[in-house]
Amino acid sequence: MTGQKTIIWDFDGTLVQFTSWRYALIDVLNEFEPGHDIDHEQLRPFLRSGFPWHKPEEPHFHLSTPEAWWDSLEPFFTRVYQSVGFNMERAALLARQVRKQMTNPKRFILFEDTIPVLTELKKNGWRNVILSNHMPELPDIVRSLELTPLIEFCLTSGVTGYEKPNPQAFHMALSLAGDPKNVWMAGDNPISDVKGAEIQGIPAILVRGQKNEEAKYKAKDLWEVIKIIEEQ
């Protein structure tokens, strides 16, 4: 496997449409608090910190099981619900329901170009791997989306304990891929995906039309990713 050309993919916002945690929290309210008047925009300010990926410099090996990972987030979700008016007891009950909502495979919608592009790359000798700041259940989601035949492996920070752009996240992916000489990163985040990879010497492509003048390579869709990597 060493030396085989490899492309490391981000997941959310890159292979699937962006999955907002705000909507998962609102769906909990829709189920358990019918008739509520809380809008997802009201939750936005309270979700800007609190997830493991908000502190990528801090590894979290103690959260490497689904139970530990989700248990660590329940107090955070409880505070979010308290911030929009629920008392502590009710907020804690609602917080315990977020996991069920967020791990529902139906919440994840593939972009139209995802399967065709991954298929084309595999046919052309590229190995597709996933490296994502995500929950522990991400490999299950990948299987439910029928991506497994196209993906060599899937690394999620919810299991590894490392969040991009932490260097160790990229080192783990490279090591598992056999330290390929021809390797690229493709993702929609200019910091965690692009700069994080470039610092480790991995050329990176900013995808999905993100505006960032510092990114050397940009692709409006995944088809342009193929064009970029095959022209270099």
Report pLDDT digits (tens) over 74-87: 999 999 999 999 99
Assigned domain for 208 exists = yes
| Same domain flag for 141 and 71 | no
Residue-wise pLDDT for 147-190, tens only, equals 999 999 999 999 999 999 999 999 999 999 999 999 999 999 99
Assigned domain for 138 exists = yes
Query: Does residue 117 contact residue 223 with C-beta atoms inside 8 Å?
Result: yes
* pLDDT band, very low/low/confident/very high, at 119 (cuts 50, 70, 90): very high
Residue 146 tokens read as 């029928």
Structural domain containing residue 170: 6-18+108-231
* pLDDT band, very low/low/confident/very high, at 64 (cuts 50, 70, 90): confident
Query: Does residue 15 contact residue 110 with C-beta atoms inside 8 Å?
Result: yes
| Same domain flag for 224 and 120 | yes
| Same domain flag for 56 and 137 | no
Q: Is the peptide bond before 45 cis (omega within 30 degrees of 0)?
A: no
Look at residue 232 in the predicted model and tell me its pLDDT. 84
> Which pTM does this prediction carry?
0.95
| Same domain flag for 140 and 203 | yes
* Region 190-210 average pLDDT: 94
| Same domain flag for 31 and 121 | no
* pLDDT band, very low/low/confident/very high, at 210 (cuts 50, 70, 90): low
